Amino acid sequence: MKPILKVQNLSKDFIKSLDLVAKGLNRIGQNYKEEVVHAVDDVNFSIFKGEIVGVVGESGCGKSTLGRMVAGILSPSTGSVEFDSSQANNKETPSALRTQMIFQDPFSSLNPRKRVIDIVTEAPIYHKLITPSEKRAFATEMLQRVGLDPDTLERYPHQFSGGQRQRVGIARALAVSPEFLVCDESIAALDVSIQAQIINLFVDLKDSFDLTYLFISHDIGVIEHISDRVIVMYLGRIVETAPIEAFVKKPNHPYTQALLAGVPRLEVGKRQYEPISGEIPSPLSPPPGCHFHPRCKFAAARCKAEKPALREIAPAHFSSCHLNEEA
Amino acid sequence: MEPILKINNLQTHFFTKAGILKAVDGVSFEIGAGEIVGLVGESGSGKSITGFSVMGLVDPPGKIIDGSINFKGKNLSALSNDQMQNFRGNRIAMIFQDPMMTLNPVLRIETQMIEAIQAHDSGISREDARIRSRDTLGLVGISSPDERLRAYPHQFSGGMRQRVSIAIAMLNRPDLIIADEPTTALDVTIQGQVISEMQKLCRETQTALLWITHDLAVIAGIADRVCVMYAGRIVEQGLVANIIANPMHPYTQGLMGSVPSQNQRGKPLQQINGMVPSMLNLPAGCAFQNRCNYANEKCSKMQPDITQLADSRQVRCFNVPAGQQL
């Protein structure tokens, strides 16, 4: 089977260029260098049609940058994101509309001065998917799809609660009939009881619109529930990708193990936390070799010098750890 | 044993132009020495205002209009602001969600910590206060505290900053710490570190801790008892183990059911339908009725009273099975 989305050697560097003073000082012999953040560092993966692929990692690991590049909002520094249009549901959809994104904050991602009807129909009218005369009927249908009352068409975003606003954001993304949705922390800003509603909505929409998802979240409980496959990132690199059963039961990389051990769980009850020590290093100067070695309890000399490659340790289960070779 | 904090029928209302908002409406609970109590609820449920009321930090148009906050035998709600100052940051300390908001960005950590000590103990010398600050920083797991004292808040990472604000809260060895969403802004691995420090500190110093959060799973991991709040009221309180094993109030049941790990993968999550009602026009009767699967006519007419259950649990619901009632 061919993947519907293929990401190859994708990297994104953010460069802070030198200011005037530093440039001047460099002229008289000082040596100031530009600061480079490798937000995403040589990432490869593919996604099959109908899959929900979860991306987990802590803040600063590059998961949002990755999502933005997949959605086409950011252009990659190197590498490519390829969408296989032969597998598209609707072959006529322009390629720019195939991937849509749903953002974290439903308060800042909607234009506060536009009515819901205009927010939802702006893109399809612009791309001539519908005519302006069909606007009302189209918006009514979209709102019903995401579980909102069509009576609210004329309202402004501030008249909605957080969960309802997130539904408007979802309706806006679906309005151009995308094939692929990138959800970047789309439920993180919502209350617990509303989170469950939106997660259920995502799953329903996947079935009714035949969608494929890249689901980015720091919430491992949510990722475990919704994803088919999980990508774990640490400081810009993929450390492990695994099918969900293997991720939950047999996490391979020490970082994944630590991450899973740190998740508070209802069913575990009262316990003594035994956290991994240390902080996430600055992405400006990541440690050499394996990025995780300063916090890893298994770290050996080799980990400090050599970057581990992502290797297949079981079918569809990849991990980048030197320990796997010695075993 | 006499509890450190005993809140009885606390009512904190906000007198807004649009009407009276009953942010906290008849809340009662206690915390004993060394005990960790979780206060769980969604945004707008009044959990933070409960914490602020204890600290005397409710700003107008908010006002505590009734009830008592009994702290080691003293009623805090009757104290003036000046009298309250002796307790705040001294006997009772608070940790907030965002450490960047609580630390002054233009002062060194050292200055802020020494200030907090000298504010309550004018006799202590600067050097002694500095040594105490350094030791407390070490206590919360900050390495090389001597150098770190000279740093500014922006030189710390988020997790480190939260440790600093925990250290400041611990400085005067308070009897009670109120922690308002202290780990919500932190990453999972850092959250684990902060929780583990807090657990250790409470056990060693016998400090009582009120942990306010929206995350029931965190509470399950650290607290002894839990109070679940909804629309300004505690709808269920009791021992964490009992409530997790067998939630009684429909809201607690819904809250637990919507946690992904409680559900089978691939199946839709159990969800609580609808949304939190506006606090300005709560329905007559039970505030949860329009989201509740068990609601009947009685629920829409009368406020349910507290029902005492056999396992020292309190539930505000009419539909508690008769066999469970005390």
Domains of chain B, by residue range, sit at: 5-91+175-187+199-283, 102-171
SS3 A102: strand
How many angstroms separate the CA atoms of B178 and B242, rounded?
A: 23
B256 touching A (Cβ < 8 Å):
yes
Residue B101 confidence (pLDDT): 79
Q: Phi and psi for A239 in degrees, rounded to 5?
A: -95, -25
Asked if the model's pLDDT at residue A92 lies above 80, the reply is no
Contact B93, B120 (CB under 8 A): no
Of B158, B263, B276, nearest to A225 by CB-CB distance is B263
Residue A125 confidence (pLDDT): 93
Query: What pLDDT digit, counting tens, does each position of B279-316 carry?
Result: 888 888 888 888 888 888 888 888 888 888 888 899 99
- Check the CA dihedral A137-A138-A144-A147 and report its sign: negative
State the helix-helix crossing angle for A162-174 and A192-209, rounded to 10 degrees: 20
Asked if the model's pLDDT at residue A221 lies above 90, the reply is no
| pLDDT band per the 50, 70, 90 thresholds, residue A100 | very high
DSSP E strands, chain B: 5-16, 19-31, 36-40, 62-71, 74-75, 92-95, 176-180, 208-213, 225-230, 233-239, 307-308, 314-315
For residue B301, the surrounding DSSP H or E stretch is helix B297-301
B211-230 mean pLDDT: 91
Which CATH superfamily, name and number, covers A5-252?
Answer: P-loop containing nucleotide triphosphate hydrolases (3.40.50.300)
CA distance B60 to chain A (A): 25
A185: left (phi over 0), alpha (psi -120 to 50) or beta: left
**Apex CA B80: angle with CA B74 and CA B85, to 5°?**
80
A22 touching B (Cβ < 8 Å):
no
CA distance B82 to chain A (A): 37
Task: Report CA-CA distances (Å) from B111 to B69, B88, B129, B135.
Answer: 32, 19, 10, 15
CA distance A70 to chain B (A): 24
| pLDDT band per the 50, 70, 90 thresholds, residue A280 | confident
Better pLDDT: A115 or B122? A115
**CB–CB of B215 and A192 under 8 A?**
yes
Written as six digits, the tokens of B303 are 């406020």
Cβ-based contacts of A272 with chain B (< 8 Å): 196, 199
Pairing between β-strand A311-314 and β-strand A229-234 as defined by DSSP bridges = unpaired
How many angstroms separate the CA atoms of B310 and B321, rounded?
A: 12
Written as six digits, the tokens of B293 are 């699967």
Residue of chain A nearest B40, judged by CA positions = A192
State the helix-helix crossing angle for A116-126 and A162-174, rounded to 10 degrees: 20
How many angstroms separate the CA atoms of B187 and B184, rounded?
A: 8
Residue of chain B nearest A268, judged by CA positions = B221
How many angstroms separate the CA atoms of A83 and A65, rounded?
A: 18
Cβ-based contacts of A196 with chain B (< 8 Å): 257-258, 260, 269-272
Asked if the model's pLDDT at residue B326 lies above 60, the reply is no
Domains of chain A, by residue range, sit at: 5-252
| A residues 189-218 lying closer than 8 A (beta carbon) to B | 191-197, 199-200, 203-204, 218
B84 touching A (Cβ < 8 Å):
no
Share of chain A above pLDDT 70, in %: 99
Burial of A222 (0-12, 13-18, 19+ CB in 10 A): buried
| pLDDT band per the 50, 70, 90 thresholds, residue A183 | very high
A18 touching B (Cβ < 8 Å):
no
Residue A297 confidence (pLDDT): 86
B306 touching A (Cβ < 8 Å):
no
Of B43, B187, B273, nearest to A59 by CB-CB distance is B187
Task: Give domain B5-91+175-187+199-283's CATH architecture.
Answer: 3-Layer(aba) Sandwich (3.40)
Query: What pLDDT digit, counting tens, does each position of B40-82 carry?
Result: 988 888 899 999 999 988 888 889 999 999 998 888 888 888 8
Task: Report CA-CA distances (Å) from B131 to B75, B114, B126, B146.
Answer: 34, 9, 9, 9
| pLDDT band per the 50, 70, 90 thresholds, residue B324 | low
**CB–CB of A264 and B43 under 8 A?**
no
Cβ-based contacts of A268 with chain B (< 8 Å): 220-221
Query: What pLDDT digit, counting tens, does each position of A253-264 carry?
Result: 999 998 888 888
Residue B44 confidence (pLDDT): 82
